[in-house]
Chain A
Amino acid sequence: MTAIIALSLFGISSLFLGFWFSRKVLQSLTLVFLLVGMALTAADWNQELLWFGHMFRTTNTSINFSLLIQLAAFLVVAFSRGFGNDDEHTHPAEYYALMLFSVVGAIMMVSFDHMIMLFVGLEILSVAMYVLTGSDKRSLRANEASLKYFLMGAFATGILLFGITLVYGATRSFYISNIGTIIASTAPESTPNFLYIGVLLMTVGLLFKVSAAPFHFWTADVYDGAPSIFTMFMSTVVKTAGFAALYHIVGDVFGGIYSTWVMTIYFISMLTLIVGNVTAVYQQSVKRMLAYSSISHAGYMLMTVSAHQISSTSTILYYSLAYILATATSFAVFILVSDYQTGRKEKPENFQSFEGLAKNNPGLAFCFTISLLSLAGIPLTGGFWGKFFVFSDTFNRNMTYPIILAILMSAIGVYYYFKGIIAAYFKEGDIEKIEVPTLFKITLWVTTLATLVLGVYPSLVKSIF
């Protein structure tokens, strides 16, 4: 696992490179760093290796997740446009370095074999995110968001750590591969009860990170307050890492005691679906709508976690990929439009800002539409197959009620996602042609086309996952 070493070094070096290079160069360098990281990650393909005193395990699954995470970070960096031209208040070198560090943390979260490694990874990821959330230091909302995120995050990490302690106490091991065998070989009567409490606490700690209800209260405010580009980072990188870790813990390690945690996840997934979708309907701001949509997608993914099938890992991977592509695209268009409307409209982040987008910017409107269709799970887009695999897994476990609920919620989802499409295509507005940088435009089209390719030929990636 040379990727995390390389990415850490890259992160440190980009702090220094900021002395000499312009923001554009830094952006390109970071993209190159991430490409190198992906290449190094992929180099371990098909060999199961243990690193760092057996604390870190690379498997094909963990490599897939690491690649997804770096892909998401790549997209965010490509959409960052060097963070504008404001030299006094933005510090691109630091931002890129922090993003690289949090990618390192995320990779650790998906490849840990030792619970302390999970904790360390989660902290590296989170601390970088607390800083990035508040990076717009003059904005009151960003400051509030950062503080809120930090306080809530610190609690969640504390809960996770408490859970780890209890599990360690019950099994006398930090190594998750040992924990699995110990639990399997111990008779249920002689297993101490606090093991189950530990499992639940660990689950709760991670559920916080993936913003599942009822641990979602921070999400909307933090997503809304953070600079949009870091919101994109949070809703893609952090979420994927959180889900990979969650499924690794509950699915792989505690898969033997499925019955103790399944009901929790089961109800939380249903609650998350309801809260995310119903609240999203009432949002006026596109950013907040996307925040609640991110909660609702956590609900769908939790359905497959609670179904706990052999195919669940592959489903989570596929769903995450489709979700990352669609979310990154929609946020990218959102960033362009809200930047354009800042100063022109009173509330540049509302749906009204998108009115008339298709007239002079047909490309942007198209990309935005495809991404929203994918989030809504309409055929022709990757999101449809994501939902399909989730439903299929859930049905395999004969869980009928979540599916019926998920159908209702999908229909509600169509309602609020289409508000964006309707605003862009069918409403009158006065948006002139928006200037889009070349790299930004290329990335936007690549993500849009990738969403369509995933929708038409899912086998392309399904065969790898």
Chain B
Amino acid sequence: MNLLFILFFPLVVGLILLILKPAKAFIWSFAASLIELVAAGYVLSQMAESASPQSYLHDWIPEVGISFSLLADGISGILIGLCALLVPFIIATTARTDKANNAQYQGLILTMQTALMGAFLAKDAFLFYFFFEASLLPIYFLASIYGGENRQAISFKFFVYTLFGSLFLLIGLIYVYLRTPGQIHSADMEVLYQTAHGLTAQHQGYLFLAFFIAFAIKMPIFPFHTWQPDTYTTSPTQGTMLLSGIMLKMGTYGVIRLVLPMFPLGMATWGSTAMILSIVGVIYGSIIAIQQKDAKRLLAYSSFAHVGLISAGMLTQSVEGIQGALYQMLSHGINVVGLFFVIDLIERRTKSRELAQLGGITQASYVLSVCFVILSLGSVALPLTNGFIGEFLLLKSVFDHQMTLGIIAGITIILGAVYTLRLIQKSMFGNVSRITKDFEDLSAAEKWVLIPLCALVILGGIFPNVVLNFSEASVVQLAQLVK
């Protein structure tokens, strides 16, 4: 029942906001997201205490063996936590802007949260797919109504591109589902794992491709990333945060949940190709990020580079790789929300994201620049920040898997430092420019968002074991399934 609450509570409040359009939309949505956070925290702490997963099962379409089956274990627990943790921050970033009391805007964010939660909680593969695709609708409307220049064309491209990819996932799922035993088939993930293991290497290979393309487009992995920079740049800040902070993790989560345990033989054939593509993305994204003039676009490419490393790590199928991927999903979500917020703060005050026009902000707002530096260091993976733990585990797993790839992937740390430090330098330090000379200091509401995020970056770097222990049992179990 707790899981049901976590799943549907944001939707209920979201629908109230969308339909009734109350005047104080911000209070509604912020309170709802906090209640959701408390509820999710309660469930997760219970799970950590009893060291056992929680589940919920109900009939959905019994005629074809599709059930409404939810599961929160060590793996999905991390993602649920991430989703519940980030949404209050995302909503808080709208405080005192014109979007704060826009009921439609807040309602779409909350409906989006339900779709994301659903994808992370689902144990039935078609339920997963259902939420996986349904999550496209709120973000599509968010981006097309409130986005920047050329928003309709860009969000439409994003919608069609990702939908097209997920259709491959759908047929792949149907293919395996039809081979499950029994007169009425089953789409429970456990059953699908068993069934998929019985398929020939050739079939597993095709299925691996179908599944991986769907998730690779979502993450995105090179060369399926062409929708991403435009969409991230054009979306409204909160949309970008949802996309990069949480929605992208649906892709990586999908790989951990569905691809790794289902197709070990497919992995054997195509795994290294997928891994090489991921690492190409890491290097390619970093190099392009170095060239960017627009700060938001720079972050978009950095996010693309980070997710490549996450993908490469989990494709090693090792416990460290998957643990590192999970941890990095969490830290990347926190860091990227903070970074996009900083860019948004700068843009609100200066109406510009052009690095060439910025500079000298540190003189106007000390807190902002400190927070920006902390968040950036988290993103660069400096020790004592949350990024270090994840990236270290990921690089180690890639290195153990294949040394050459590990060395190439290791360049990311240098390249990441180059583009991130360049971002800090161009925006925060240097001479005060024409548009930054009247830069206002942060308001209390803005500090209340940034400082906790920075605290999370450092806490994540010092106490990683809270999270790693939480997911370990489930990851070990998964890794056994892979072998």
Cross-chain contact A459 with B59 (CB below 8 angstroms): yes
Cross-chain contact B61 with A411 (CB below 8 angstroms): no
Interface residues of B in 139-188 (CB under 8 A from A): 141, 144-145, 151-152, 156, 159-160, 163-164, 167-168, 170-171, 174-175, 177-178
B interface: dominant SS: helix
Contact flags (1/0) for A428-465 with B, using CB distance below 8 Å?
Answer: 00000000000000000000000000000111001100
Number of A residues, CB within 8 Å of B = 29
Q: Is B137 an interface residue (CB 8 A)?
A: yes
Q: Is A379 an interface residue (CB 8 A)?
A: yes
**Which one of A239-247, A288-296, A324-332, A387-395 is at the interface?**
A387-395
When chains A and B are docked, how far (Å) is the Cα of A404 from the Cα of B206? 13
When chains A and B are docked, how far (Å) is the Cα of A63 from the Cα of B141? 41
A425 touching B141 in the complex, CB below 8 Å, given contacts A379-B134, A391-B174, A459-B63: yes
Chain B residues contacting A410 (CB-CB under 8 Å) are 167
Q: Is B439 an interface residue (CB 8 A)?
A: no
Give the shortest distance, in Å, between A199 (CB) and chain B (any CB): 29
Q: Is A262 an interface residue (CB 8 A)?
A: no
Q: Is A414 an interface residue (CB 8 A)?
A: yes
Chain B residues contacting A458 (CB-CB under 8 Å) are 61
Cross-chain contact A411 with B130 (CB below 8 angstroms): no
Chain A residues contacting B63 (CB-CB under 8 Å) are 314, 459, 462-463
Residue among B133, B159, B168, B170 with the highest chain A CB neighbour number at 10 A = B170
When chains A and B are docked, how far (Å) is the Cα of A389 from the Cα of B144? 31
Of the candidates B131, B133, B144, B175, which one forms a contact with A426 in the assembled complex, judged by CB atoms under 8 Å apart? B144
Give the shortest distance, in Å, between A355 (CB) and chain B (any CB): 12
Cross-chain contact B160 with A415 (CB below 8 angstroms): yes
When chains A and B are docked, how far (Å) is the Cα of A396 from the Cα of B63? 16
When chains A and B are docked, how far (Å) is the Cα of A425 from the Cα of B137? 13
Interface residues of A in 43-88 (CB under 8 A from B): none
Cross-chain contact A414 with B64 (CB below 8 angstroms): no
Cross-chain contact A391 with B170 (CB below 8 angstroms): yes
Contact flags (1/0) for B401-426 with A, using CB distance below 8 Å?
Answer: 00000000000000000000000000
Interface residues of B in 321-373 (CB under 8 A from A): none
Of the candidates B61, B137, B167, B178, which one forms a contact with A395 in the assembled complex, judged by CB atoms under 8 Å apart? B178
Q: Is A407 an interface residue (CB 8 A)?
A: yes
Interface residues of B in 113-150 (CB under 8 A from A): 126, 129-131, 133-134, 136-137, 141, 144-145
Q: How many A-B residue pairs have CB under 8 A?
A: 74
Cross-chain contact B178 with A392 (CB below 8 angstroms): yes
When chains A and B are docked, how far (Å) is the Cα of A392 from the Cα of B174? 6
Cross-chain contact B163 with A380 (CB below 8 angstroms): no
When chains A and B are docked, how far (Å) is the Cα of A457 from the Cα of B59? 10
Number of B residues, CB within 8 Å of A = 32
Cross-chain contact A395 with B152 (CB below 8 angstroms): no
When chains A and B are docked, how far (Å) is the Cα of A325 from the Cα of B170? 24
A396 touching B145 in the complex, CB below 8 Å, given contacts A378-B137, A411-B164: no
Chain B residues contacting A263 (CB-CB under 8 Å) are none
Chain B residues contacting A131 (CB-CB under 8 Å) are none
Q: Is A21 an interface residue (CB 8 A)?
A: no
Cross-chain contact B156 with A418 (CB below 8 angstroms): yes
Chain B residues contacting A462 (CB-CB under 8 Å) are 61, 63-64
When chains A and B are docked, how far (Å) is the Cα of A373 from the Cα of B141? 13
A380 touching B64 in the complex, CB below 8 Å, given contacts A410-B167, A414-B160: no
Interface residues of B in 51-66 (CB under 8 A from A): 59-64
Give the shortest distance, in Å, between A370 (CB) and chain B (any CB): 10
When chains A and B are docked, how far (Å) is the Cα of A373 from the Cα of B133? 12
Q: Is A403 an interface residue (CB 8 A)?
A: yes
Of the candidates A379, A422, A426, A459, which one forms a contact with B61 in the assembled complex, judged by CB atoms under 8 Å apart? A459
Give the shortest distance, in Å, between A359 (CB) and chain B (any CB): 12
Which residues on B are within 8 Å of A, measured CB to CB?
A: 59-64, 126, 129-131, 133-134, 136-137, 141, 144-145, 151-152, 156, 159-160, 163-164, 167-168, 170-171, 174-175, 177-178
Interchain residue pairs with CB less than 8 A apart (23): A378-B134, A378-B137, A379-B130, A384-B130, A388-B126, A392-B177, A395-B171, A395-B174, A396-B178, A407-B167, A407-B171, A410-B167, A411-B160, A414-B163, A418-B156, A425-B141, A425-B145, A426-B145, A426-B152, A459-B59, A459-B61, A459-B62, A462-B61
Which residues on A are within 8 Å of B, measured CB to CB?
A: 314, 373, 378-380, 384-385, 388-389, 391-392, 395-396, 403-404, 407, 410-411, 414-415, 418, 422, 425-426, 457-459, 462-463
Apart from A414-B163, A422-B156, A426-B144, 4 more pairs, CB < 8 Å: A379-B131, A422-B144, A426-B152, A457-B60
Closest 3 CB pairs of A and B: A411-B164, A407-B167, A379-B133
